[in-house]
Structure 1
Amino acid sequence: MCKVTTIFLPLCRYLCMLRWLSIFFLTVTALWQASASVVLRGRVTDYSGEPLEGVTVSLGTGLGATLTDAKGMYRLTTADTDTLRASFRLLGYREERRTLLHPQGEMVISLRMRPDERELEEVIVTDIRKRTDAMERLDAREYGRRAGDPTGGSVEAMVATLPGVAGAGELSGRYSVRGGSYDENTVYVNGVEIYRPMLVASQQAEGLSVVNPEMTASVGFSSGGFAARYADRMSSVLDVAYRRPQSFEGSATVSMMGGALTLGQGSERFAQLHGVRYKRNTSVLSTSDTKGEYDPDFFDWQSCLSWSPSRRWRVEAFFDANLNTYRFAPADRNTSFGTLDDAHRFKVYFDGCEHDRFNAFTGAATVGYTTGNTDLSLQLSGFRTDELVAYDISGEYWLDQAGSELGAGRYAEHQRNRLKATVLSALFQGTTRLSSHRLLYSLGVKREHTEGRVSQWERRDSAGYSLPLAPDALRVYFALRGNHDVSASLVSAVVQDTWQRQTSAGFWNVTGGIRATHRSSSGEFLVSPRLEAGLVPAGAPQWAFRLAGGVYYQLPFYREMLLRREIAPGEYVTEVNSDVRSQRSLQIVGGADFNFRAFGRPFKFSAEAYYKALSKINPYEVENLTVTYLGRNAASGHVAGLDFKLFGQFVAGSDSWISFGLMDTRETLEGKSVPRPNDHRYNLSVYFTDFVPGVPRLKVSLRGVLMDGLITTAPGRTRYDGYFRTPPYKRVDLGLAYGIIMSETDGRRRAVRSLWAGIDLFNLFDITNVSNYYLVTDVNSISYAVPNYMTRRQINLRLTLDF
């Protein structure tokens, strides 16, 4: 026994020592290999130069894989090896493979992917991207070229066809999301927060949208449950990224309503993209009941510059000048309303004019640095708006019923409202990739300064008597004045983590984060936790489920802080209420997508249910585009609803969708419960595209909207005093486009890539939709609601050239 022990004991010790030496050797080897790593990065686009998101970049088993982001960018770190084989895969595109011999340091592979079109029985097979987060991806550029709507195919008009979204009107870029205010939506362009003019009171004067659809590369929209990286807004986020051209490119559009020119040029280190738009919607405005001289001038110039002096550094710049002028000299108005049994006619002769100006400038510069798996950036941005609404208009009116005069009178309106606002921002942001995690962190500071001047009044008389009738005084019907300067500073911090992993249960996409904000004017410190999770089950890959929720705030800006105080009947002054707090929304959103094939083509059916618990509400009223806040946190409420969308290719090679939403909104003030101002109880939108059979060069697009009417109140009143609804909004726009020169798919460049001629039929069925009402009051204090109708049927011709 001793002999055996004597023999085997040294052997055991030797084996034990050999095991520890092996572990040490493997550890040293692993550390040496980790220190000798290769970084692979680049950008993936389609053949039109637009970035592809969600492309799987794989280096083989055990060497790592990643996905491209919204800009088509990817970055992957792997161990040093003699040969590196990279594959690029995306549903609907041909797989691309690249081989690198003896790679060292940082390597760049940028490429373009071709669509994978397999023709089976003359039907093209494609796929639809699965959605596992709160963002819906939109093809805004194609919509802008084909949709026949009066905005010229703006991104906002496209958003208004999505479930849960209601546009403010056919000429407006404003929209309400799930019952929220127009101010509750935030817009980003290349990571820069974009602000809109604040004094715009009517669709006619709003001008061009803030996003140029011809410059877009990717557009993401979320109607709720969005991530913590996005600013404090309660309703939605529109995240737009502009293209980075790979070579020289350009497009031009000319129509009866204006024109647009886009030019781009790019190389490996430098790229630039410029877009100029001009619009005059005089022809559309001429279809309204109020006749006169319409003279609108809307101009927009946007530029994007990108420079990469080295593989690690990048410099980007963005500039936007939005110059909108609206001049109008009304002559007369003739409005018929009522029913066959109770027909009314309202006739007005005008004198005076209106001259509005809305000039807004946005600029930003970003410096980025990449090291290892970390991307760092510092962004400086500024916004400046100079707005003026000025008019002096008087009129003499007659109101009759079936030929019998009900009343006659005069009125005069005066307004000199001025607003100047400056917003300066600095944002430091970083992104670090750790295995299957993507960590985002940021710190931002912002300074807001607003100067507002309000001076407006309205005088009315009926049958020679001034209204309101006062025996001992001459009073105006309404007057408002104010003079205020408001400043505020904000500090915000964000920490967010995105985890993506393929498990036995399926593909998971989970994003959680916290946003913290401090506002100096109110002393608020806000904490906003947010979480979203998505799953594509391994056993049912045609399904995609998502669940999101969190706490969302609406930070008060200048208008939310104005409190009206009545100093005499009908006369008010505005005061700044510094005690106004941020409105709060506790949201939960659950949804599912089902991908299927019908008629040999791909389709996707989406459904979402949502609930918002609202508190610290600052109640507001809406008249046309004017949003008037109560100026204090006085109410609570809720929003609940269901949204449905069917998306697919009803016709091969052409995307279409149908959206339908049901919604219920309530808010309670001092024990009284009423609907919220943008309470559209139902909303049906259709966007359908088709190729005319036998004429493949002729493409048809149809855009239709049917939604519940808006809540309306009497002038100077609120919903708590009484309300009624406008008639349901119904409208159909039709666009026809003929391809004179069609785009080639063989990859060769030509001087003229495509040329399309089109005709648009706005308001195809000439339906009279009500914007709001003008109340006529006689000396007996009897009021008559005269509808203000939106635009009628009109034709527009356009020509689009790509080169």
Structure 2
Amino acid sequence: MKPHLIIIALFFSLICQAQSKFYVRGYVMDESKRAIDLANISEKGTTNGCSSNENGFYELALTPADSFTIVFSCIGYESIERTFKSSGQSVNINVILPTTSTQIGDVEVRAHRRQTSTMQTIDTDKFRLMPDASGGNIESLLVTFAGVSSTNELSSQYSVRGGNYDENSVYVNGIEVYRPLLVRSGQQEGLSFINPDMVNSVEFSAGGFDSKFGDKMSSVLNITYKKPKKFEAATSVSLLGASAYVGSAGKKFTQMHGMRYKTSAYLLGSLDTKGEYSPWFIDYQTYLTYRFNPKWEITFLGNISQNTYRFIPKERETSFGTLQMSRNFKVYFDGMENDIFRTFFGAFTTNYKPSKNVDLSFMLSAFNTNEQETYDITGQYWLADLDLSSADKTDKAKTTLGVGTYHEHARNRLSATVANFSHMGEFRYQNNTLQWGVGAQEEIIFDRIQEWEFRDSAGYSMPYNPNRVELIYNLTSHIDMYSTRLTAYVQDVYKLRREHGLWSFTGGLRANWWSYNKEFLISPRGTVTYFPKWKQDFNFRFAAGLYYQTPFYKEILRPVTDINGNTTMVPNAAIKAQRSLHLVLGADYFFRLWNRPFKLTAEAYYKPADHIISYYVDNVRIRYAGENNAKAYTTGIDLKLFGEFVPGTDSWISFSWMKSKEDVLDDSYEVYSNKGNHLGTVYPKWISRPNEQRYSVSIFFQDYFPNHPEYKVHLKFIWADGLPFGPPRSERYQAVLRTKPYRRVDIGASRGFMQGREKFMSKQDVVKSFWINLEFFNLLNIKNVNSYYWVTDIYNQQFAVPNYLTGFMVNLRVTVDF
């Protein structure tokens, strides 16, 4: 046969074979009609198979036969088989996979789902009964995760893998939310923006996240609020505050309303500084949705909050040091502090679904904060040695080290408005999911700062000058700032199945331009995940990307000091975005122990960075250098063991090891001998970054009484390395000291009353359940240090007096669900 005839014959045979194939396609969903990603769909008895995409859609090619059996399976769900006779035509089969579960009384055991990116899902049900000294923040559960740390139970702020608090993005329904800017202590903080009663899902990534998530260097917390399916309500009351929530749903309209009130006066009563604490926080949130038809929907998310902190200090007494060198610091105060932080937020979103494979969203949002910080406080202090061996228990003072007076003054005002318009879209085609977004943001900031501190030691003002009286510290600013920010991103998720396993590829680009410094940035990012078929108990992932920390406002302020010692904050228009490369290698191992499911997760990371803006941390306030004056790197490993240590309850143990260093460029100091001879110049090179927490161990543990799951116990344990610190307003290389390790145990005991289990509950149908929680904060009464107050004598010798955090406290909380 001639060659061209052979080719034609082969061509027609391929056409006939292609025409003889037909397809089985459809959707795989769970019992809540939500799409199941990465479900396995295979022809029984063959190697022919495929997997569902993020929307649960699958398409399996088959060769005609008399009948077929299709197997649907996924980790965490029961497998289902569907058998049908072949007609030679394509068919649609939609299936619902029941969740794999085993009943232990009223306790449910579930298997773990697979992770296709660096994003991990947080089950918010575990949050409700967890002991939380901050008064009800989702972040309090987040700090038990590997790579996440917080050394202040009064604050909802957290550090991730060596980054500072400003390096974490928080999204609610795809919209980035902001915190107040003037807050400098945990005592001033209210609750975080996120209302736990309104949350549907929580996702978190400690690094290597996708292009669609903003311009921050450390982490992403992605929150999605729920849409009620029926009437629901809840309320909670405790010694730390109260909350109320109500939601309802109609055929087209859903609504949620939540209100929270917090007061930390009871908790602050355990601090060394005694006085009249009057802090209170209140906020109202609403989320409304209206669906015109299956294609069009509009939503509104609104928030109003006010945080008021009023404090009249009376006295303070702090003992610190060691048995060999124990000291006592005593202060009598006069004056008061009065701060107000008021924020408004609103976001309108229009969702349009032109086809089943395309989703389009248009969002208009605005955020405004008005902040006032006012205080005038005078203190007279005594610093003395203590003689712990003295027989006289009433007076252990041996030697007075210093006596002095200080006066702190502030009249700070800040107003900031951020308005944003953005568009996001998604297109799904076969094994691809294409996502994109563009946005424009206008930022208006008015800042007025006037604060100073006068200090007198033994009759001399500090710093000592025989010719005039000087302030030890003063700071002013008068800034009006207008700027525009443009952003865009595009990314694609592609899934590929081969005989040896399943691959998931995510790649994208993010662009950013800021009118203030005229800087244009391109950020490429990518993630590869592999699910080997040879060992289905493992999956591996690798993420890499270039991440920029675009300056917002605090980063651009540069302190400029004149010859008289007056410091003014001046915006630096030449500042550039900080830049970091993320390299993250991770793996998950699924196994069963004691016939219960467990998952071991390990991630190793390396993050070199340049254009760093150095800073120091005082309590929760970050003071930046206002210029790109350093380079840095962070490397470490995070381990997390997650599973049912107790049947039917999820607990976990996290361990993190980290090394985070920075080199401030061109810094140096001179060394002299005791006789004044110059010995040379020292260049400090690599030093510890302010948030280098070299190790951290955390445990979240749940338990219940056998056969009585209504009695529960929740434990949160944290043991973390102390943070580097040095004298205030000193050079970075002088931060060679380190605080004591942060150690804390919180435990809560709960008793639940539920319909169907309690006789008296069956007589009514209004209350579904209520819980009584008894919480023990800082169970071991460990004195953790948050920051230091520095006392200087006339000889310029400095003493670091620790500012201790809260001690042992008991809280009672009652939660009711309707």
| TM-score, with length taken from structure 1 | 0.89
What SS does the aligned partner of 1:768 have? coil
Per-residue deviation, 1:345: 1.1
Tell me: CA distance 1:222–1:25, structure 2 relative to 1, closer, same or farther (3 Å). Answer: closer
| Range with bigger deviation, 353-362 or 114-123 | 114-123
Letter in 2 for 1:703: K
1:260 is aligned to 243
* 1:553-572 Cα deviation digits (max 9, x unpaired): 00001111101111145431
Match of 1:721 among 734, 743, 748: 734
C-alpha separation in 2, matches of 1:136 and 1:632: 34
Per-residue deviation, 1:21: 14
Give yes or no for the alignment of 1:66 onto 2:57: no
Match of 2:225 among 242, 266, 270: 242
What SS does the aligned partner of 2:128 have? helix
| Range with bigger deviation, 698-707 or 311-320 | 311-320
Per-residue deviation, 1:415: 0.8
Letter in 1 for 2:273: T
1:423 is aligned to 418
Per-residue deviation, 1:487: 2.1
C-alpha separation in 1, matches of 2:257 and 2:377: 40
2:393 is aligned to none
Match of 2:609 among 608, 614, 622: 614
* 1:738-783 Cα deviation digits (max 9, x unpaired): 11226789xx995322211110000000000011111111222222
Per-residue deviation, 1:729: 0.6
* 1:292-337 Cα deviation digits (max 9, x unpaired): 1111111122211122111111112211222211111111111111
| Range with bigger deviation, 668-677 or 642-651 | 668-677
1:604 is aligned to 599
Match of 2:659 among 635, 639, 664: 664
Tell me: CA distance 1:241–1:89, structure 2 relative to 1, closer, same or farther (3 Å). Answer: farther
C-alpha separation in 1, matches of 2:29 and 2:303: 26
Letter in 2 for 1:684: V
C-alpha separation in 1, matches of 2:757 and 2:368: 43
Tell me: CA distance 1:753–1:328, structure 2 relative to 1, closer, same or farther (3 Å). Answer: same
Q: Following superposition of structure 1 onto structure 2, how do residues 517-596 of structure 1 map, counting pairs within 5 Å?
A: 517-568=512-563, 570-596=565-591
C-alpha separation in 1, matches of 2:588 and 2:181: 37
Give yes or no for the alignment of 1:126 onto 2:110: yes
Tell me: CA distance 1:93–1:754, structure 2 relative to 1, closer, same or farther (3 Å). Answer: farther
Give yes or no for the alignment of 1:388 onto 2:401: no
Q: State whether residues 743 and 754 of structure 1, in contact with CA within 8 Å, keep that contact through their aligned partners in structure 2.
A: no
Q: State whether residues 404 and 459 of structure 2, in contact with CA within 8 Å, keep that contact through their aligned partners in structure 1.
A: yes
Among the aligned pairs, what percent are the same residue?
Answer: 40
What SS does the aligned partner of 1:541 have? coil
What SS does the aligned partner of 1:634 have? strand
C-alpha separation in 1, matches of 2:512 and 2:54: 30
Tell me: CA distance 1:252–1:137, structure 2 relative to 1, closer, same or farther (3 Å). Answer: same
Tell me: CA distance 1:88–1:520, structure 2 relative to 1, closer, same or farther (3 Å). Answer: farther
Match of 1:496 among 487, 491, 498: 491
What SS does the aligned partner of 1:204 have? helix
Per-residue deviation, 1:22: 12
Q: State whether residues 57 and 68 of structure 1, in contact with CA within 8 Å, keep that contact through their aligned partners in structure 2.
A: no
C-alpha separation in 2, matches of 1:382 and 1:485: 19
Match of 1:711 among 717, 721, 724: 724
Q: Following superposition of structure 1 onto structure 2, how do residues 238-387 of structure 1 map, counting pairs within 5 Å?
A: 238-372=221-355, 373-387=357-371
What SS does the aligned partner of 1:618 have? strand
C-alpha separation in 2, matches of 1:413 and 1:800: 42
Structure 1: gaps spanning 5 or more residues: 6-11, 80-84, 100-106
Give yes or no for the alignment of 1:776 onto 2:791: yes
C-alpha separation in 2, matches of 1:277 and 1:539: 51
C-alpha separation in 2, matches of 1:742 and 1:602: 29
| Range with bigger deviation, 53-62 or 148-157 | 53-62
Match of 1:626 among 621, 625, 638: 621
Tell me: CA distance 1:124–1:532, structure 2 relative to 1, closer, same or farther (3 Å). Answer: same
Tell me: CA distance 1:281–1:89, structure 2 relative to 1, closer, same or farther (3 Å). Answer: farther
* 1:198-242 Cα deviation digits (max 9, x unpaired): 110000111101211222111110000001111111000000111
What SS does the aligned partner of 2:733 have? coil
Match of 1:451 among 446, 450, 464: 446
Match of 1:757 among 757, 769, 772: 772
Q: State whether residues 27 and 35 of structure 2, in contact with CA within 8 Å, keep that contact through their aligned partners in structure 1.
A: no
C-alpha separation in 2, matches of 1:627 and 1:246: 43
What SS does the aligned partner of 2:575 have? coil
Per-residue deviation, 1:87: 10
C-alpha separation in 1, matches of 2:280 and 2:242: 12
C-alpha separation in 1, matches of 2:408 and 2:646: 52
C-alpha separation in 1, matches of 2:427 and 2:133: 44
C-alpha separation in 1, matches of 2:212 and 2:29: 23
- What is the number of residues matched between the two proteins? 766
* 1:573-614 Cα deviation digits (max 9, x unpaired): 111100000000011000111111101111111111100110
Give yes or no for the alignment of 1:487 onto 2:470: no
Per-residue deviation, 1:65: 6.6
Per-residue deviation, 1:64: 8.8
Q: State whether residues 105 and 707 of structure 2, in contact with CA within 8 Å, keep that contact through their aligned partners in structure 1.
A: no
| TM-score, with length taken from structure 2 | 0.87
1:684 is aligned to 697
| Range with bigger deviation, 526-535 or 161-170 | 161-170
What SS does the aligned partner of 1:509 have? strand
Letter in 1 for 2:329: F
Tell me: CA distance 1:658–1:785, structure 2 relative to 1, closer, same or farther (3 Å). Answer: same
What SS does the aligned partner of 1:779 have? coil
Q: State whether residues 591 and 599 of structure 2, in contact with CA within 8 Å, keep that contact through their aligned partners in structure 1.
A: yes
What SS does the aligned partner of 2:230 have? coil
1:102 is aligned to none
Structure 2: gaps spanning 5 or more residues: 62-68, 84-91, 387-396, 667-682
2:205 is aligned to 222
Tell me: CA distance 1:741–1:205, structure 2 relative to 1, closer, same or farther (3 Å). Answer: same
Tell me: CA distance 1:121–1:158, structure 2 relative to 1, closer, same or farther (3 Å). Answer: closer
Give yes or no for the alignment of 1:413 onto 2:408: yes
2:675 is aligned to none
C-alpha separation in 2, matches of 1:123 and 1:457: 58
Tell me: CA distance 1:743–1:501, structure 2 relative to 1, closer, same or farther (3 Å). Answer: farther
* 1:148-193 Cα deviation digits (max 9, x unpaired): 1202342111111111111141011111111011100000011111
1:151 is aligned to 134
Tell me: CA distance 1:490–1:289, structure 2 relative to 1, closer, same or farther (3 Å). Answer: same
Give yes or no for the alignment of 1:198 onto 2:193: no
C-alpha separation in 1, matches of 2:815 and 2:268: 24
Tell me: CA distance 1:244–1:463, structure 2 relative to 1, closer, same or farther (3 Å). Answer: same
Tell me: CA distance 1:324–1:87, structure 2 relative to 1, closer, same or farther (3 Å). Answer: farther
Per-residue deviation, 1:77: 9.5
Letter in 2 for 1:276: M
Q: State whether residues 333 and 348 of structure 1, in contact with CA within 8 Å, keep that contact through their aligned partners in structure 2.
A: yes
C-alpha separation in 1, matches of 2:353 and 2:800: 62
Match of 1:654 among 649, 652, 665: 649
Per-residue deviation, 1:66: 3.5
1:462 is aligned to 457
Per-residue deviation, 1:115: 4.0
Give yes or no for the alignment of 1:513 onto 2:508: yes
C-alpha separation in 1, matches of 2:509 and 2:442: 22
